[in-house]
Amino acid sequence: MSLPITMAQASTAGQTQAMLFQPLEIRGVQLRNRIVVSPMAQYSSIDGFLTDWHFAHFAKFAMGGAGSVFTEATKIERRGLGTVGDMGIWKDEHIAPLQRLAKFLKEQGATPSIQLNHAGRKAGTYKPWDGFGALDRSVPVEGQEHWEVIGPSAVEYLEGWPLPREMSKQDIDEVQSNWVKAAMRADQAGFEILEIHGAHGYLIHEFLSPASNKRADRYGGSLGNRMRFALEVTEAVRRVWPQHKPLFFRVSAVDEGGWTIDDTVILARELKSLGVDVIDCSASGISIRSPTASRIAPKLGFQVPYAERVRKDAAVMTMAVGLIVHPRQAEEILVKGQADLVAIGRELLYNPFWPAHAARALGHDKQYGDMPVQYGWWLDRRSKTGYTEE
């Protein structure tokens, strides 16, 4: 049983109202600030179940002051597993551990959030630190046979990777149904924001991109047809996801296979009409590992222009992500109107209390009042001894 946390009341004297720390209300949910913990895979689940590692991993971000804490990409069915250790929500037994986590995150003042995903043709891979490539499919996984690899078309991700079976209409209906069931379980678990993962070369993105979608039916060919699966999943999820809870959608705003920022703007407009509240703007993944795994080092905030373009041209709230590491950098993104939220990933692995440090750097919280009282009380008293932070 977790101990309820009360936050110390900070004096507002001498403090500034940084935009990064202004609350944001979306539908019936208020985020305490604009800092979002981006989904980061840990590959530490057993048969999809959340473990103690996950609890400690996510809990520290809420204690560190983030406005919203997202789980890693949580799989809607076993066929959707990217690799061994992915988190899942494809059965009711997964709910209880997730419920405990969501409850604790909320007790710390963070909005509990979950990202749902299906790996599609990128299923069955090594954990990244074990190598890059497809698993030996003749070896059982956790005492079970390997999961089947499916996709919009029989087009492999990369040479030597499994050839996916082209999904039939029955497969499409079944996967969409599993997305709905997963969303309902996420609601039961107490999550308040749900994000549909439509990026990084996973199943929904595979339908969107002409590089991976070679279908000749109503789910392939034209842009409208290639968007159909994403829009049907979104519409079905929005129907069961409570109306007072926000719905996010992550896109690869551009990819290496022909999907463009103009396509993303069109998709974003359609998603908004179906009840999506925020477009989470990432990039790539349809035929490369990820931009951050590239031999060419990306620049800080390299994906921010995508969030800015979508926000402007689709008239929808956006979240910027991608090498956002400095407090003033994050503040500037918001002040310039490039995005409504900033998602921080690996910088939080290095510094889980990044939000608290950002609050100090931006002059928002000089008395550690936004930190859990169990920490803030001690740190505030240390500051009164004349100690100054580097």
Residues with active-site annotation: 202
Tell me the two tokens of residue 300.
């800080």
Tell me the two tokens of residue 343.
């998602």
Sign of CA dihedral 132, 135, 136, 140: positive
The Cα–Cα gap between 74 and 14 comes to 42
Q: Are 226 and 208 in contact (CB under 8 A)?
A: yes
The Cα–Cα gap between 247 and 124 comes to 28
Kindly write down the DSSP assignment for every residue of 276-291, as one continuous string: --EEEEE---SSSS-G
Tell me the two tokens of residue 212.
């991976």
Distance (Å) of CA 11 to CA 248, 274, 331:
34, 42, 22
The Cα–Cα gap between 69 and 345 comes to 11
The Cα–Cα gap between 79 and 66 comes to 32
Which three-class secondary structure string do you get for 166-186? Answer: ECCHHHHHHHHHHHHHHHHHH
Q: How many residues are there in the chain?
A: 390
* Alpha helical stretches, state H, the chain: 52-63, 95-107, 169-189, 203-208, 223-240, 261-273, 304-314, 327-335, 346-350, 354-361, 373-383
Q: Phi then psi for 74, rounded to 5 degrees? A: -105, 125
